[in-house]
Amino acid sequence: MTPEERAARSAAAMWSTDVAAQALEMVLIKVAPGQATMTMRVRPEHLNGHGICHGGYIFTLADTAFAYACNSHNKLVVAQENSITYLSPGRPDEVLTATAQEVHLAGRSGVYDVTVTGADGRKVALFRGLSRQISGTHFTEDMMEDET
């Protein structure tokens, strides 16, 4: 199995039970080893008292892209620590894009950077996620190899 196939199968396994991302109508645009791109439209219920996207929803989008990137190696991985810096507001009805990239992976720990951009390409937020591998996999690769 290629690393790209492993990433796609891991993402499919995660997506099948990712109720949060599905409820927010996120779309997984791309997944590759150590990478993921997700989008989310800013809906009326995402707006705060200033009429812009609530930071919690921007964080959730970035965190979800981070999750798919760090789980792309068919290892169960969770967040250990995350931080975000907001640079510009998410606008009503705008599609936000979160692009996650693995920066460093050693043993059970990883570092990932996520850039959230607006529809016009401006940077909305910068997110850094630290990951920690736990026991388990998304699927059994031996079984998957037998099916092909």
E strands, the chain, are: 27-32, 35-41, 77-86, 95-106, 109-117, 123-133
Q: What does pTM read for this prediction?
A: 0.93
What is the rounded CA–CA span in Å between residue 5 and residue 97? Answer: 23
Express each pLDDT in 26-84 by its tens digit: 999 999 999 999 999 999 999 999 999 999 999 999 999 999 999 999 999 999 999 99
Express each pLDDT in 126-144 by its tens digit: 999 999 999 999 999 875 4
User: How many domains does the structure of the chain reveal?
Assistant: 1
CATH of the domain at 109: 3.10.129.10
Domain that holds residue 99: 3-147
